[in-house]
Amino acid sequence: LAVKDPTAVERANLLNMAKLSIKGLIESALSFGRTLDSDYPPLQQFFVVMEHCLKHGLKVRKSFLSYNKTIWGPLELVEKLYPEAEEIAASVRDLPGLKTPLGRARAWLRLALMQKKMADYLRCLIIQRDLLSEFYEYHALMMEEEGAVIVGLLVGLNVIDANLCVKGEDLDSQVGVIDFSVYLKSDDDIGGKERNVQIAAILDQKNYVEELNRQLNSTVSSLHARVDSLEKSNTKLIEELAIAKNNIIKLQEENHQLRSENTLILMKTQHHLEATKVDVEAELQTYKHSRQGLDEMYNEARRQLREEAQLRQDMENELVVQVSMKHEIELAMKLLEKDIHEKQDTLIGLRQQLDEVKAINVEMYQKLQVSEDAMKEKNEIISRLEDKTNQINATMKQLEQRLQQAEKAQMEAEAEDEKLKQEYVNKSESLQKEFSQKEKQLLQLETDLKIEKEWRQTLEDDLQKEKETVSHLRTETQEIVILKKEFVKLQEKNKQLKSICEDQEAALQELASKLSESKLKIEDIKEANKALQGQVWLKDKEATHCKLCEKEFSLSKRKHHCRNCGEIFCNACSDNELPLPSSPKPVRVCDSCHAILIQRCSSNVP
C-alpha cells in the first residue's frame, strides 16, 4: 500500500473540522435565535478551527529575539487587496488591550464575521497566491484547493448575526483547543431535525429575498445615476440649442441689414442715374441753343475768314493727332463697357449667393423645429421613466413591510411552536404563496427594467444624433460667417470699382468737352479759309498809308486788313472791338462794313 502524504491528511482533517464547525454553528444559531454573543461555545470553537486552518503551513519568520509564527501577517495583506478592509485593520490597530499579533488576528476574524465579509476577504487572499507564498509553504491549506472549499463554506455564515465585544476581551492569552465533544451526535439532535429543516428552508428563502432586494437596490441606484447623467446631458443640449437659436437670430438680423443695405444701394444708384439723365438733357438743350447761335456766327465767319496755307497744314496735322486720340478714346469706352458688364455679372453672382444664404437659413430653421420636437418627445419619455421608478420604489417598500411582518410572524411561530403546529403549516403555505407572488412581481420588475434599459439606449442614440445635428449646424454657421466675410469683401470691391467708374466717367466728360472745343476751332478755321477765298490782298509796297488818317505805317501803327471791303487801316483807326465765343480775345472790326480785321505784317515790321 502507498503511504499517504501527512500534509494532505492534515488538510483533509482540517477541512472536515471546518465543515463540522460551520454546520454546527449555523444549526445552533438558527435554533438559538441567530444573534450570537462572544460567550457562545460553537462560535468559540469556530474561531479556534479557523485559527488552526490559517496556521497550517505557516513559514517561520526570524526576528532579533526569537522565531515568530503568526497569522497576522497574511491578514494584513487584505487591507491592500480589498479597500473596504481598511476600517477593520485600523480599528484592530487602535484597540488598547491587544499586544500580540495573534490577538490582533483574533480580533480581525471577529470583526470580519460581524461585517459578514470574512468569505470575501479570504477569497482575495487565496486569489493572490504569489503574495501568500511569502507567508505559507507550498503544501499549506491556504495554498491548496481545501482553502477555496473553506472560503465557499464561509459564505453560509452570512445568515448569522453576531454581536461580539472585542474591546474588553483578553484575546492574547486564549488557548486554541478544539472540543470534539461538541460535534458528537445525540438523540435530542436527531429528534429536532425536522423542525430545523423547516426553519432552515424558511431562512434560505428569506436570505434569497434579501439578496434580491440588495440587487434591486443596486440596480435602482445605477438607474438614478443614469437618470442624473441624462438630465445633465439634456440641460447641456438645451443650452447649446439656446446658443444656436441666438446665433440664428443674429444671422437673420444681419441678413435683414444686408438686404436693407442692398435696397439703399439700389435706391442711390437709381437716384444717381435719374440725376445724370436730367443733367444730360439740360446739357443737350444748352448745346442746341448754343449751336444755333454758333451756326449764325459760322455763316457770318464763312464770308470773312481766310488764312494762309501754312496754318491749314498745321491744323491738318493737329487733326491727325486728334483722330488718333479719338480712336484711343473709343478703345477706352469699349474697355469701360467690358468692365461694366463684368460688374453686372458680379452683381448677379452676389444675388445668387444671397438666395443661397436665404435657402440655408430656411433649412436651418426647419432643422431647429425638428430638433425641438424630438426634445419634447424625449422629455415625455423621461417623465414616464421617472413615474415607473417611483412605482418600483413603492413596490420595494411594500415588499420590505411584508418581510418585516413575516419576521414577526416567524418569531411568534417559534415561541408557540408546540401549541400551533397545524397553524404554522398553514402559515408556511401562505408564506410560500406570497413568496411565489413576490417572485412573479420581481420577474415583472425585471422585464420593466429591461424595457427601461432599451428606452435608455434609444434615448442615448437620439442624444448622439442630436449632438451630430448640433455640430452640423455649427459648421453651417461657420460657413455663413465665411460667406458674410466674402460678401463684405465683394462690397468693398464694388465700391472700388464704382469709384474707378466715376473717375473714368469724369475723364470721358473732360475728353468730350475738349473734343467739342477742338471741333469748334476746326470748323472756325475751315469757315475762315472759305471766306478768304476770292479776296485780293494788296501788296506790301502799295499799302503804305492808312485809308482814314492817311499816315504811314510804322512799328507803332500796324496794318489791319478788312476781309470784306479790302481796305487797310492802322491800329489807331480800328478801335472797334467785338468779342467772339470761339476766341479768348476780342476781335477788331472795320468802321465801314463792320467786318473782322486781320493784322498784316508790313515790309518794315518783322
pLDDT the model gives residue 603: 37
Is the pLDDT at 370 greater than 80? The verdict is: yes
pLDDT the model gives residue 589: 61
Task: Give the pLDDT confidence of 301-335 residue by residue, as tens digits.
Answer: 777 777 777 777 787 888 888 888 888 888 888 88
pLDDT the model gives residue 149: 92
DSSP 8-state class, residue 537: P
Under 8 Å between Cβ of 166 and 112: no
Task: Give the pLDDT confidence of 219-241 residue by residue, as tens digits.
Answer: 888 898 989 989 998 899 999 89
pLDDT the model gives residue 369: 84
Lowest mean pLDDT among 278-282, 503-507, 525-529: 525-529
φ/ψ (deg, to 5) at 306: -150, 130
Lowest mean pLDDT among 4-8, 81-85, 138-142, 413-417: 413-417
pLDDT the model gives residue 515: 85
Is the pLDDT at 460 greater than 70? The verdict is: yes
Hey, which of 183-192, 410-419, 574-583 has the most confident mean pLDDT?
Answer: 410-419
CATH topology of domain 6-183: Methane Monooxygenase Hydroxylase; Chain G, domain 1 (1.20.58)
The whole-number average pLDDT for the span 140-159 is: 89
- Give domain limits for the chain: 6-183, 545-605
The whole-number average pLDDT for the span 340-364 is: 83
Is the pLDDT at 424 greater than 60? The verdict is: no
Confidence of residue 243 (pLDDT cuts 50, 70, 90): very high
The whole-number average pLDDT for the span 54-77 is: 74
Under 8 Å between Cβ of 460 and 385: no
Confidence of residue 606 (pLDDT cuts 50, 70, 90): very low
Confidence of residue 210 (pLDDT cuts 50, 70, 90): confident
Report helix, strand or coil for 605.
Answer: coil
Is the pLDDT at 577 greater than 60? The verdict is: no
CB atoms inside a 10 Å sphere around CB 69: 14
- Confidence (pTM): 0.35
As assigned by CATH, the class of the 545-605 domain is alpha beta
Rounded (10°) CA dihedral 366, 367, 369, 370: 120
pLDDT the model gives residue 568: 72
The rounded distance, in Å, linking the Cα atoms of 352 and 481 is: 17
pLDDT the model gives residue 566: 61
Under 8 Å between Cβ of 520 and 294: yes
49 sits in which H/E element? helix 41-55
Task: Give the pLDDT confidence of 532-571 residue by residue, as tens digits.
Answer: 565 555 666 667 777 677 777 776 666 666 655 666 767 6
